[in-house]
Amino acid sequence: MRMTGKHLFVVGLFFIVSSYLSVAVAVPSPTESLKPLLNEMMTIITDPSLAGEEHKKERRAKIMAVANQGFNWTEMSKRVLGKPWHEINQKQRDNFEQLFTKLLENAYVGKLEGYSSQVITFNDERVKEEKAVVSTTIEDNGVILPVHYIMIQQNTTWKVYDINIEGVSLVQNYREQFRSILRKDNFDGLVKMLEEKNATFDGEGS
């Protein structure tokens, strides 16, 4: 049977829609995106062979390699810096992101490392368009730590761009701190502060 131009259009449209739907169906939920990453991070944190200050560098490297798959450090950096992000060049952005990611490593991962026998529970998720919040709790010897992950959809997965620990947003908390530094010392002063802060963390256990 010979196909007319109209038939060809309909068939082409069908394949385009089918391809779109298959991609849409393949997108995991925020919890499905986050759960394997957090579980793997917890496995590393609680690994006896990686415990202690003597294994801190190796342990952190493994944890961050996993975190890099599910955390959008660029989005975090942009949101925490605010308006100055649009006033600096790409090299400065890259440097700030690297420094801020290191700071978050010490603040967030350092917090998790304080729990030696953790059990993580995924409680619920709230999704609104391309943003979501996944609520979890970490229990360690009767101590319960609520941690909420704020996520954004990127293509076929979800990425974390903020973490709320015990009711405190990391991004908002640092944005307020950085704002006062920027008013007093400008961007260069903020960079210097981050370098000094990270150097202090790096010196721990040495």
Mind listing the pLDDT tens digit for each residue in 5-50?
Answer: 544 444 444 444 444 444 445 678 999 999 999 999 989 988 999 9
Residue 74 placed within a domain: yes
Average model confidence (pLDDT) across the chain: 85
CB half-sphere exposure, 80, CA atoms < 13 A: 29
pLDDT at residue 58, as a whole number: 95
Q: Which residues contact 161 (CB under 8 A, 6 or more apart)?
A: 71, 72, 75, 76, 79, 150, 151, 152, 171
Domain holding 174, by residue range, is 28-202
Residue 7 placed within a domain: no
Q: Does the structure show a pLDDT above 60 at 130?
A: yes
Residue 10 placed within a domain: no
What's the full length of the chain, in residues? 206
pLDDT at residue 78, as a whole number: 96
- Amino acid sitting at position 17: V
- Residue 100 tokens, joined: 């801020």
Query: Domain containing 154 — which CATH number?
Result: 3.10.450.710
> Taking the chain, what is the end-to-end CA distance rounded to the nearest angstrom?
79
- Residue 117 tokens, joined: 């026998």
Residue 168 placed within a domain: yes
| pTM score, whole prediction | 0.79
Most confident of 84-88, 155-159, 200-204: 84-88
**Which is it for the CA torsion 96, 169, 33, 137, positive or negative?**
positive
The per-residue b/e assignment along 58-76, b for 16 or more CB within 10 angstroms, e otherwise, is: ebbebbbebbeebbbbbbb
Name 168's bridge partners. Answer: 165
Place of tokens 């449209």: 13
d(CA 8, CA 12) in angstroms, rounded, equals 6
Considering its fold, how many domains does the chain have in total? 1
- Residue 44 tokens, joined: 């590393």
pLDDT at residue 59, as a whole number: 94
